[in-house]
Structures are given as structure tokens and as C-alpha cells.
């Protein structure tokens, strides 16, 4: 089985504290911490909460263009998912770029 054990919940209100808590997540490997928290937020948040998260992320001075071990940004990854247009637009509005 792949993917999160608990899918996104679309009718649940997330507090600012819950959204901001993702900023403190740490990778268990050599993944860039900024890439790691964005991926986690993308996987677990609906677009509305993801947009709030990205606002907090940028306000902290985090790197919106952090890359994975292959040099790909989160925008590269999200752009491959046809149903994630809203997430890609949120990232682009915040200054995210594709690596290529």
C-alpha cells in the first residue's frame, strides 16, 4: 500500500497552529528540510490550507525552490500531477520555479 494512511480531509478546519506545525517537521534522511516540509504539506493539506502554509513558509524566509536529491523543485513534482493545478498556482504565486 502506498500513500498516506489517512487521506486529506476536505471538511475539517485547520487552525494556524496546526498548519504552522508542518514548518517544524524534520526529514529522516538527507532531504533538504524546506523541500521536506513542502512535500508533507502538499500530501496532507487541501489547497486552501496549503496556501496558508506557503504564506507562513515564505514569511519565515524558507526556500520555496529547495530541491530533492535529483535537483527537482516541488513545483516540478506537483506540475506532473494533473489534479494539482491549484497547488502549482499557489507555489508560482509565491515565487516557485521549475528546475528546468
Q: What is the mean pLDDT of the chain?
A: 90
* C-alpha to C-alpha distance for 76 and 59, rounded to whole angstroms: 22
Residue 11 within any structural domain of the chain: no
- How many domains is the chain built from? 1
Reported pTM: 0.85
Domain membership of residue 73 (yes or no) is yes
Question: Residue 35 domain-assigned?
Answer: yes
- Range of 74's domain? 19-93
The three grid cell numbers given for residue 40, joined into one nine-digit string: 508533507
Q: Give the pLDDT confidence of 38-50 residue by residue, as tens digits.
A: 999 999 999 999 9
Amino acid at each position: 500500500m502506498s500513500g498516506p494512511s489517512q487521506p486529506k480531509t476536505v471538511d475539517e478546519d485547520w487552525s494556524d497552529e496546526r498548519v504552522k506545525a508542518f514548518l517544524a517537521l524534520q526529514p529522516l534522511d538527507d532531504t533538504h528540510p524546506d523541500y521536506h516540509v513542502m512535500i508533507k504539506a502538499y500530501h496532507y493539506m487541501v489547497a486552501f490550507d496549503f496556501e496558508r502554509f506557503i504564506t507562513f513558509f515564505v514569511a519565515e524566509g524558507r526556500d520555496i525552490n529547495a530541491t530533492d536529491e535529483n535537483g527537482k523543485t516541488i513545483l516540478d513534482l506537483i506540475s506532473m500531477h494533473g489534479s494539482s493545478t491549484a497547488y502549482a498556482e499557489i507555489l508560482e504565486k509565491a515565487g516557485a520555479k521549475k528546475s528546468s
